Structure 1
Amino acid sequence: MTLSWLSIFRLGLVQMSLGAIVVLTTSTLNRLMVVELALPAVLPGLLVALHYGIQITRPNWGFLSDAGGNRTLFIVGGMAVLAAGGFGAAWGVVLLDTSFALGLSVSILAYALIGIGVGASGTSLLALLATATAPPRRAAAATITWLMMILGIAVTAGTVGAFLEPYSHALLLRIVAVVTCGAVLLTLVSVWGIERRVAAQPSHDEMSFREGLREVWGEPHARNFTIFVFLSMTAYFMQELILEPFAGLVFGLTPGQSTTLSGAQNGGVFLGMLLVGIAATGFRLGSLRGWVIAGCLGSAASLIVIATAGSLGLRPLLMPAVVALGFFNGVFAVAAIGSMMALAGRGRETREGTRMGLWGAAQAIAAGFGGLAGAAGADMMRRLFDSEATAFGAVFLAEATLFLVAALMALRVIETTRAGRGAALMPGE
């Protein structure tokens, strides 16, 4: 028995819970450190890079799922660890205001827990989806679950932004406690009983994790797609840690306003994903390669507009440009994710979790590297230029260039396959 549409929707609620916690660390808490606490942007960049770096263990979590690990236990337990890390990260921000050493220590531990939680829960969830979803439904399942994750991110960012006014440390802790506890409870209810009812049989071979990972890396399609994921996701995540500080320092937005801006951006991501999900999966319009390229080019254009708005002080242009960036990010992301899900079953059977873990690790490393590069680049540019707008604008333009390079790589790596049928790599790759 494979996953029903209802079960896929239920698993999407887990993705939604995961996104709701993670967005607090990458938007609200990041902005508070840089603007309200006047700390270098590279500090939250390093913390976020830490939690992404720890996710290099994703292939191991995926291998455990392939080898018969209890996916439900990993999903729920990982979410509990993630929730503890999310609340700890908020507490660390509060402590940083009075004791830098203590606050930094708590923050390092918290972000490490976030990395472990996301790796265990997220990879095990994807492994369950990849092994228990009927092949014709895999791309659609990816679209549904990621749409729900982005919905959780957008709703959480917008809601937290509204309730965070007027800002206080105590209010921040109360809001984060509600979000994290709610995420764990929703995950437990959503995943309960699903694994027992589906045909997701584990691998029973005696191959070690190292041997299994080497086997998957030896598959040309898996290796080339991993390289593409790393490059494109580096571009995708470069603005993640600097957009809200940019809005606060250049346009004077309050914490609540900049968090709302982040929510609007993720709302754009949701709309972009929804468009591709309906057009490509429902009506089979366009190819996955075409959607990926369109998303990359649109993201590059949006970043150029954001940089221009900052340089010219065009505040009314900020919101629509940020929403457009989110929209084209969503178009790119769902096409790439659809390719990932469709390709997970290629090659040796019972290695879906290991492949998803490998690509998840590439994405996580790229996210940490991209976020850190963006934050460090912003700090460096702010030292070189007197204008905050010029400094941030230079980083946005560098990110736009990376998106253009990713679009060119997609031409070589991804085959022109109808989006509704899945994806493949170029012949001979």
Structure 2
Amino acid sequence: MTLSWVQIIRLGLVQMCFGAIVVLMTSTLNRLMVVELALPAVLPGLLVAFHYGIQITRPNWGFRSDTKGNRTRFIIGGMAVLAAGAFLAALAVLWMAHARTAGLILSVLAYGMIGVGVGASGTSLLALLATATAPRRRAAAATITWLMMIFGIAATAATAGHFLDPYTPLRLMQVVGAVTIGALILTMLAIAGIEARVIAGREPEPMPFRQGIAEIWAERRARNFTLFVFLSMTAYFMQELILEPYAGLVFGFTPGESTKLSGAQNGGVFLGMALVGVLSTGFRIGSLRLWVATGCMGSAAALAAIIATGQTNGALFVPMVVAMGFFNGMFAVAAIGSMMALAGQGRDAREGTRMGLWGAAQAVAAGFGGLTGAVLVDLARQALPDAQAFGLTFGFEAALFVISAIIALKVIETMPGRRPVASGLAVPGE
């Protein structure tokens, strides 16, 4: 028995919970450290990079879910650790205002917990989707669940932004507490009983993790796609830690306004994903290769426009941020669809290991990209005005998107055994 559409949507609710918690860490807490506490942008950059670095364990979580079963346990347990880590991260920001060292120590612990929680829960969830979803539904299921995650990010950013103004420490803890507790409860309700009702594929023979990951890395298709994920996601995440500080320092946005900006950006991501899904599945317009390249080039163009707004006036700043999100979503949904479709290819019963490998590549790229953006801004601000310093960094990110588009045209085109598919929404070989 495989997952029904209702069960896929229920798993999407878990993805929505991931987005709701993580957006507070990468946007709201990041902005408070850089603007309200006047800390260098590299500090939250290092913390977020640390949480991504912890996720290099994703292949291990995926392998364990392939060989040990009971993915529900990992999903709920990981979400509990994630929620606790996010709450402690918010508390640590408040401590930094009065006890800098204690706050930093607590932040390291909290962001480590966030990394463990996302790695364990997220990888196990994607493995369950890949193994229990009918082959013809795999990529579409990935699109649905990712759209729900983006919705969770956008809705939480907008709602949290509303309740954070006027900002007080008490308001921060109330908002974070409500989001984390609500996410954990919703996850438990959404995942309950699903795994027991579906056959998630046959269990592979027991073997050491090192041998299992070596077998996957030996697959040329999996290896090439891993490299593409790393390069493209480095570009994708470079603005994550600097966009809200840019809004605050250059355009004078309040904490609530900059949090709403993140919601607007992710609203654009949602629209980009939805449009590609409708055009590719309903009308069979476009291909995986086309959507990835178009999304990357469009993201580069939107970044160029954002740079221009900082040098002239901010009238078009928010629309250009939404446009960047739109093209980001266009690129992301094509990459995610391909990832889910390719997870079931190669050696049988290794979906979790492959998803873990690609998830680790994405996490490392996210940490590297976010930290690189923060470091470049800090260095540039030593010699340039804020608008020019951020503009230089956004320009570097735009160049990476152009390079990623070129690489995508080569890597995706040369994938063996692949026929043209609409945005990755048809499984290769079907």
Could you give the per-residue CA deviations for residues 316-358 of structure 1, whole angstroms, max 9, x where no partner exists? 1110000000000000000000000000011000011000000
Counterpart residue number, 2:30: 30
Amino acid paired to 1:414: I
Partner Cα distance (2:20, 2:60) in 1: 25
Q: Distance in 1 between matches of 2:280 and 2:167?
A: 42
Determine helix, strand or coil for the equivalent of 1:2: coil
Q: Return closer, same or farther for 1:264/1:195 CA change in 2, 3 Å cut-off.
A: same
1:405 match: 403
Spell out the pairing of 1:166-245 with structure 2 (5 A cutoff): 166-245=166-245
1:210-259 per-position Cα deviation (integer Å, ceiling 9, x unaligned): 10100000000000000000000000000000000000000000000000
Distance 1:282 1:20 in 2: 29
Distance 2:401 2:316 in 1: 21
Separation in 2, partners of 1:219, 1:112: 31
In 1, are the aligned partners of 2:289 and 2:408 still within 8 Å (CA)?
Answer: yes
Distance 2:353 2:284 in 1: 29
On the 8 A contact 2:15/2:146 being kept in 1, the answer is yes
Matches within 5 A, 1:34-183: 34-183=34-183
Matches of 1:41 and 1:178 in 2, distance apart? 27
CA offsets, 1:345-397, max 9 Å, x none? Answer: 11000011000000000000000000000001100010121x10000000000
- Preserved contact between residue 338 and residue 425 of structure 2 (Cα < 8 Å): no
Counterpart of 2:361 in structure 1 is: 362
Q: Conserved in 2, the CA contact under 8 Å of 1:222 and 1:355?
A: yes
Distance 1:230 1:36 in 2: 33
Q: Distance in 2 between matches of 1:187 and 1:325?
A: 30
Partner of 1:380: 379
Q: Distance in 1 between matches of 2:311 and 2:89?
A: 33
Alpha-carbon spacing, 1:421–1:175, altered in 2? closer, same or farther (3 Å): closer
Q: Is this contact kept in 2: 1:21–1:86, CA < 8 A?
A: yes
SS of residue in 2 equivalent to 1:51? helix
CA distance in 2, matches of 1:241, 1:293: 24
- Select which of 399, 417, 420 maps to 2:420: 417
Counterpart residue type for residue 316 of structure 2: L
1:349 aligns with 2:353: no
Cα-to-partner distance string for 1:163-189 (whole Å, 9 max, x where unaligned): 100000111001100000000000000
| Structure-2 separation of matches of 1:140 and 1:421 | 6
Q: Which residue of 2 aligns with 1:289?
A: 289
* Letter aligned with residue 367 of structure 2: G
Equivalent in the alignment of 1:303: 303
Whether the 8 Å CA contact 1:58–1:358 is kept in 2: the answer is yes
Query: What is the root-mean-square deviation of aligned Cα atoms in Å?
Result: 1.1
**Partner Cα distance (2:49, 2:218) in 1:** 28
Give, in angstroms, the shift of residue 423 of structure 1. 6.0
- State the alpha-carbon separation in 1 of the partners of residues 210 and 201 from structure 2: 21
CA contact (8 A) 1:244 1:262 kept: yes
Equivalents in 1 of 2:347, 2:204: separation in Å?
14
Residue 278 of structure 1 and its aligned partner are, at CA, apart by 1.1
Counterparts of 2:144 and 2:318 in 1: how far apart (Å)? Answer: 26
Aligned to 1:336: 335
* Amino acid of the structure 2 residue aligned with 1:17: C
Distance 1:282 1:60 in 2: 37
Partners in 2 of 1:192 and 1:100 — Cα distance?
A: 41
Quote the sequence identity (%).
68
Distance 1:423 1:76 in 2: 29
One-letter code aligned to 2:421:
R
Is 1:67–1:202's contact at 8 Å kept on the other side of the alignment?
no
For 2:160, give the aligned amino acid.
Answer: V
Residue of structure 1 aligned with 2:388, choices 390, 396, 409 = 390
1:270 matched to 2:274? The reply is no
> Whole-Å Cα distance in 2 between the matches of residues 24 and 340 of structure 1?
26
Q: Compute the TM-score of the two structures, normalised by the length of structure 1.
A: 0.97
Q: 2:252 and 2:212 mapped to 1: Cα distance? A: 51
The amino acid of 1:50's aligned partner reads F
Is the 8 Å Cα contact of residues 135 and 427 (structure 2) preserved in structure 1?
A: no
Q: Distance in 1 between matches of 2:236 and 2:204?
A: 37
CA distance in 2: counterparts of 1:117 and 1:247, whole angstroms: 30
Residues of 2 paired with 1:304 and 1:423: CA distance?
35
Q: How many residues were matched structurally?
A: 423
Contact 2:280 2:425 in 1 (8 A): no
CA distance in 2, matches of 1:273, 1:128: 22
Unaligned runs of 5+ in 2: 414-418
Distance 2:167 2:98 in 1: 17
> 2:416 is matched with which residue?
none
C-alpha displacement of 1:160 = 0.3
Aligned to 1:317: 316
1:417/1:423 contact within 8 Å kept: no
Deviation at 1:421, TM superposition (A): 5.2
Per-residue CA distance 1:271-317 (angstroms, 9 max, x = gap): 001011111123221101100001000000000000110112x1111
Deviation, structure 1 residue 424 = 5.6
Equivalent position SS for 1:398: helix
CA contact (8 A) 1:233 1:366 kept: yes
8 Å Cα contact 1:65-1:202 kept in structure 2: no
Q: Is the 8 A contact 2:55 2:118 kept in 1?
A: yes
